[in-house]
């Protein structure tokens, strides 16, 4: 059986560092605030918003949700986000995606002040991540994978990392962050020829395909490490990932739940605190 590399210890370390940053901010009279913008009533958006509100409360960060109807147009959203960007009491802004298809999502993202863009959605932060600029905000999920690896002492430099997925939220920025850590990176997607063979080259297989249990032992070289970014709900209502629970080949795998997800949440708070520090 592969070893399970859980996220909990990484989460504890990030939370402890967050608590110190929070104390320093409060000593200067600052209470950071995260604003989440939600359009419509999608169950997963509401679940995300509830989780973010709880995380903020536990960290002592203020939280506000701006909820717009499903019919909201691009201009309304741009104006809403601009108002939050200009509001000195708001430290970080996150717009829940995907937005309705009728909305120009990138225009809305570009209305976020890059200094408040805590989930790395603006072109400015994307460019920063691609250029390896230290202070840029990377999307929390992509950064969570690297932090999980580093906290657990897993070597990255010089190793073959294969990322399944090229979305702007996870796969692409993750590939860039792994490159920054000196991995040799391959990015796979739906048009990759012989995906299994490419994945079997990996020392570190990072799976963000959004396909439940698609990765099984055929994709994994014996002794490789596997990070499962996927989040799905199975027929019994239980959370599961993109990697089959039955895999035997890897030396280790991150579980779902209990792996990347918690680290992502802790990092969102870290980013809000970093954003608040920038305003000092
Ligand atoms: P997405 O659907 O936007 O992108 C999926 C990517 O995987 C695409 O680039 C696609 O080309 C590739 N892909 C899909 N099927 C494939 C296949 N059969 N073979 C090869 N490539 C394939 O999804 P996303 O937003 O990047 O999220 C990926 C997963 O991560 C989802 O399961 C999502 O729920 C999860 N997620 C987790 C967290 C977290 O905190 N753990 C946060 C965000 C997303």
Write the pLDDT tens digit of every residue in 241-251.
999 999 999 99
Q: Tens digit of pLDDT for each residue in 218-259?
A: 999 999 999 999 999 999 999 999 999 999 999 999 999 999
At 273, is the pLDDT very low, low, confident or very high (cuts 50, 70, 90)?
Answer: very high
Nearest to 59 by CA among 84, 34, 37, 88: 34
User: Closest Cα to atom 36, ligand 1: which residue?
Assistant: 230
What's the rounded mean pLDDT across residues 148-171? 98
Alpha-carbon distance of 272 to 280, in angstroms, equals 13
Percent of the chain with pLDDT over 70: 100
pLDDT of 184 > 90? The answer is: yes
Contact assessment for residue 226 and residue 220, using Cβ atoms and an 8 Å cutoff = yes
pLDDT higher than 90, residue 36: yes
**pLDDT grade, residue 39 (50/70/90)?**
very high
Domains of the chain: 28-114 (3.40.50.10860), 140-261 (3.40.50.720)
The mean per-residue pLDDT over the stretch 28-48 comes to 96
Mean pLDDT along residues 44-63? 97
Sign, Cα dihedral of 9, 11, 17, 20 = negative
pLDDT at residue number 279: 83
Q: Are 135 and 76 in contact (CB under 8 A)?
A: no
> What secondary structure letter does DSSP report for 67?
E
Whole-number pLDDT of residue 29: 96
pLDDT confidence tier of residue 280, bands split at 50, 70 and 90: confident
Q: Which of 42, 165, 266 to mutate to test the pocket of ligand 1 (most atoms within 8 A of CB)?
A: 165
Q: What is the mean pLDDT of residues 163-190?
A: 98
Side by side, which strands form the sheet with 62-68?
62-68, 33-39, 92-95
Residue 33 scores a pLDDT above 90: yes
**How far is residue 182 CA from its own chain's centroid?**
20
Decide: 141 in ligand 1 pocket, CB within 6 A: yes
C-alpha 107: how far from chain center: 21
Q: From the CB of 142, is ligand 1 less than 6 Å away?
A: no
Interatomic CA distance for residues 91 and 85, integer angstroms: 9
The residue whose CA has the least distance to atom 35 of ligand 1 is 230
Residue 68, strand partner residues: 39
166 lines ligand 1 (CB under 6 A): yes
Bridge pairing between strands 239-240 and 232-233: antiparallel
> How far away, in angstroms, is 87 Cα from ligand 1 center?
33
Are the CB atoms for 212 and 230 separated by under 8 Å? yes
- For a ligand 1 pocket test, name from 169, 229, 261 the mutation site with the most ligand atoms within 8 angstroms of its C-beta: 229
Question: Does any ligand 1 atom lie closer than 6 A to the CB of residue 184?
Answer: no
Q: pTM for the complete prediction?
A: 0.97
End-to-end C-alpha distance for the chain, whole angstroms: 49
- pLDDT at residue 74 tops 90: yes
Task: Say which DSSP state 212 is in.
Answer: T
In contact, 21 and 277? CB cutoff 8 Å? yes
Under 8 Å between Cβ of 84 and 64? no
* CB of 145 shorter than 6 A to ligand 1: no
Report the pLDDT averaged over residues 78-95.
98
Looking at residue 203, the DSSP 8-state letter turns out to be S
């Amino acid at each position: 059986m592969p070893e399970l590399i859980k996220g909990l210890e990484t989460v504890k370390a990030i939370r402890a560092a967050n608590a110190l940053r929070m104390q320093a901010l409060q000593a200067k009279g600052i209470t950071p605030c995260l604003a989440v913008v939600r359009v419509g009533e999608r169950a997963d958006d509401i679940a995300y918003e509830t989780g973010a509100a709880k995380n903020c409360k536990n960290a002592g960060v203020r939280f506000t949700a701006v909820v717009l109807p499903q019919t909201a147009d691009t201009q309304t959203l741009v104006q809403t986000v601009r108002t939050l960007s200009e509001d000195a009491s708001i430290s970080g802004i996150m717009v829940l995606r995907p937005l309705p298809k009728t909305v120009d999502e990138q225009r809305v993202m570009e209305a976020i002040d890059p200094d408040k863009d805590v989930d790395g959605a603006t072109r400015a932060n994307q460019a920063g991540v691609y250029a390896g600029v230290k202070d840029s905000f990377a999307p929390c999920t992509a950064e969570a994978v690297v932090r999980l690896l580093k906290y657990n002492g897993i070597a990255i430099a010089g190793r073959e990392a294969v990322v399944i997925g090229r979305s702007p939220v996870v796969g692409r920025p993750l590939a860039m962050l792994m490159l920054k850590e000196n991995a040799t990176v391959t990015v796979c997607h739906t048009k990759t020829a012989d995906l299994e063979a490419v994945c079997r080259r990996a020392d570190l297989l990072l799976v963000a395909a959004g396909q439940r249990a698609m990765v099984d032992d055929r994709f994994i070289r014996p002794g490789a490490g596997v990070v499962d970014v996927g989040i799905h709900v199975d027929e019994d209502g239980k959370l599961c990932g993109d990697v089959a629970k039955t895999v035997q080949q890897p030396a280790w795998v991150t579980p779902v739940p209990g792996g990347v997800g918690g680290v992502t949440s802790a990092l969102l708070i870290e980013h809000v605190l970093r954003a608040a520090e920038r305003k000092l």
